[in-house]
A and B are shown apart, each in its own frame.
Chain A
Amino acid sequence: MTDDVAVLGAGMHPWGKGGRGFAEYGAVAARAALADAGLAWREVGSVVGAVTVRGGYPGYVAGATFARALGWQGARVASVYAACASGAQAVDTARAQILAGLADVVLVVGGDAAPKGFFRPAGGDRPDDPDWLRFRLLGATNPAYFGLYARRRMAVHGDTTEDFALVKVKNSALGAENPYARYRRAVGPEEVAASAVVADPLRLLDICATSDGGAALVLSSMEFARRHGVAQPVRIRAVSTVTPRYPRTVLDLPDIATDSAAAVAPADESFRESIARAAYEEAGVGPGELSLAEVYDLSTALELQWYEDLGLCARGEGAKLLREGATALGGRIPVNVSGGLASFGEAVPAQAIAQVCELTWQLRGQAGTRQVAGARVGITANQGLFGHGSSVIAVR
């Protein structure tokens, strides 16, 4: 177990298609997080930016871009990239700096301005790049991989497309209650079933959109939080940023093939399961102690997969857990009470930070009509392509 760090502030820019730049979304979220923390920007000793690959050079140096937008004040700076897990790595970097005594207060920021439609690889002819190859050779978009996972669940576990649609129904009803969500309208199962198939068996409303958005956190040492007058802050107890172990036997983006298990027997534990286990071990809590979970529902089917990978139910029982209502607000273990990616769409570097913002509001009891009663322990989980685990456990 590591020492805790305090979450003093959380802030977001509403998700959507705003037509503005990522720096603006991030800076708006940063100012909101600072206001929430009751701190001035000059009191921040370090800023960690989650990188976007869609903003040119300013995106690659996101930390400095946000520091400049807020006004240079001399803070230490870092910029990190780990695809969808970038936000968790930014939190991890900030935490390491705090625990190492390099900074008392660290601002973590992510923002993105995403194009409409499929994400695509960087330009140029790059046959050494698996992300380029999967598009060039196969036309395998992200939703194609989501479709493969969904079909595999149907074949192995007996999930149905109706089960998948119910995830969207649950998340859209919660997103309707979230002022930061992009889609704020409850969707019925018939509407999901009537939407166009994108990657069989998944339909448009099974798959998360690409969005603009920004999210930020102000983290500090526990000692600073006390001096600042916050006796019982939300605390980050674990950040899991693990990588897979050879041989990796589940096909993952952007790879064309898995590792071969011919020479080395694979572990029984999948990569996604190991992401959660590392977080649980570091936090000293188990799935039975969770009040809520925010998981990366890139597709409806993937949310069911996360139930199992987080240990909320046994393998193959994700759809049953959903149908029992256990993961709805008021259920045993509510999942994605923010509305999830189904309601937000994905703003890549901001998304894992936004998950922690939701935990923060929930653990403080500030989530309004989305509030999980008596929330004490929350987990986030996601996975960045090219082998990035991401899970944060926060407590209060």
Chain B
Amino acid sequence: MEGWFIGEEAGFRLLGTRCAACASVFFPREDTHCRNPGCPGGELAEVPLSPRGRVWSYTDSRYRPPSPYVSDPELPWDPCTLMAVELETERIVVLGQAVPGVAVADLAVGMEVEVVPGVLYEDTATTWLTWHWRPTEVTA
């Protein structure tokens, strides 16, 4: 996912864009035109998003999602937790998978989480990275 995130470990950030005219933020990045209908349209500059936010809601996938999600059909499906996270400064809610090992029972609406790099899947040549959300209490 070229241009969706940057940095490593503690410096990892999601990347969006911000309109120079109206300050609207877009994630996933909007690079063509500002989508605020009341904005004359300004230059869209890349901007890192806040690394921490609060859980807006959460759920999990108890059954294997269909393609194009990549998972090894040889292995039993391990339920994956999903979180929608509200970033206070940007006033945006961003969906993401939880770090492996975090179950819905570990979460609550309003809990603080932070963005961390994660592995989407691996093929023979490449490890494809993504973003994960991790409760900040886990690292404390």
Q: Residues on A close to B: CB < 8 A? A: 117-118, 120-121, 125, 127, 132-141, 144, 147-152, 155-156, 196-202, 246-247, 249, 251, 255-264
Q: How far is the CB of B102 from chain A (nearest CB, A)?
A: 13
Taking a contact as CB atoms under 8 Å apart, the answer to whether A246 and B35 are in contact is: yes
Tell me whether chain B's interface is mostly helix, strand or loop, or mixed.
loop
Q: How far is the CA of A262 from the CA of B90 in the complex (A)?
A: 5
CB pair A262 B57 closer than 8 Å:
no
Determine the chain B residues whose CB is within 8 A of the CB of A251 once the complex forms.
56, 84, 93, 95
Contact between A139 and B80, CB atoms less than 8 A apart = yes
- 13 A-B pairs within 8 Å (CB atoms) are namely A127-B1, A138-B69, A139-B80, A139-B97, A148-B95, A151-B109, A199-B61, A247-B91, A251-B84, A256-B95, A260-B92, A262-B23, A263-B36
Given contacts A120-B66, A260-B92, contact A152 B56 (CB under 8 A): yes
Complex: A144 Cα to B98 Cα, angstroms: 13
Assess whether B68 is in contact with A125, with CB atoms less than 8 Å apart: yes
B70: chain A residues at CB < 8 Å are: 136
Cα-based distance from A202 to B28 in the complex (angstroms): 28
Please state if A137 and B60 are interface contacts (CB–CB under 8 Å).
Answer: no
Contact A256 B66 (CB under 8 A): no
Q: A152–B93 contact, CB under 8 A?
A: no
Known: A138-B97, A257-B28. A148 touches B82 (CB 8 A): yes
Contact pick for B57, options A117, A135, A137, A149, CB 8 Å: A149
Within the complex, what minimum Cβ distance (angstroms) separates A152 from chain B? 4
Q: Contacts A256-B95, A264-B38 given; indicate if A152 touches B68 (C-beta within 8 A).
A: no
On whether the beta carbons of A138 and B68 are closer than 8 Å, the reply is no
Taken residue by residue from 11 to 27, chain B's Cβ proximity to chain A (1 for < 8 Å, 0 otherwise) reads as 00000000100111111
Residue on A nearest B21 in the bound complex, by CB: A263
Query: How many of B's residues come within 8 Å of A, CB to CB?
Result: 47
| Chain B, Cβ-Cβ closest to A155 | B109
In the complex the two chains form, is A257's CB within 8 Å of B62's CB? Answer: no
Nearest A residue to B63, CB-CB = A198
A148 and B68 in contact (CB under 8 A), knowing A133-B28, A140-B82?
no
Q: Chain A residues with Cβ under 8 A from B37's Cβ?
A: 246
Q: Decide: A263 near B93, CB < 8 A? Known: A148-B59, A149-B57, A152-B56.
A: no
Q: B28, B36, B94, B104: which contacts A264 (Cβ < 8 A)?
A: B36
B110 shortest CB reach to chain A, Å: 8
Q: Is the CB of A199 within 8 A of B36?
A: no
- Report the nearest B residue to A128, measured CB to CB: B28
Q: A138-B82, A155-B109, A263-B36 are in contact. Are A200 and B24 (CB under 8 A)?
A: no
A137-B120, A139-B65, A258-B93 known; A200-B60 Cβ under 8 A: yes
Q: Which of B28, B71, B89, B95 sits near A262, CB closer than 8 Å? A: B89
Within 8 A of A (CB), among B40-69: 56-63, 65-69
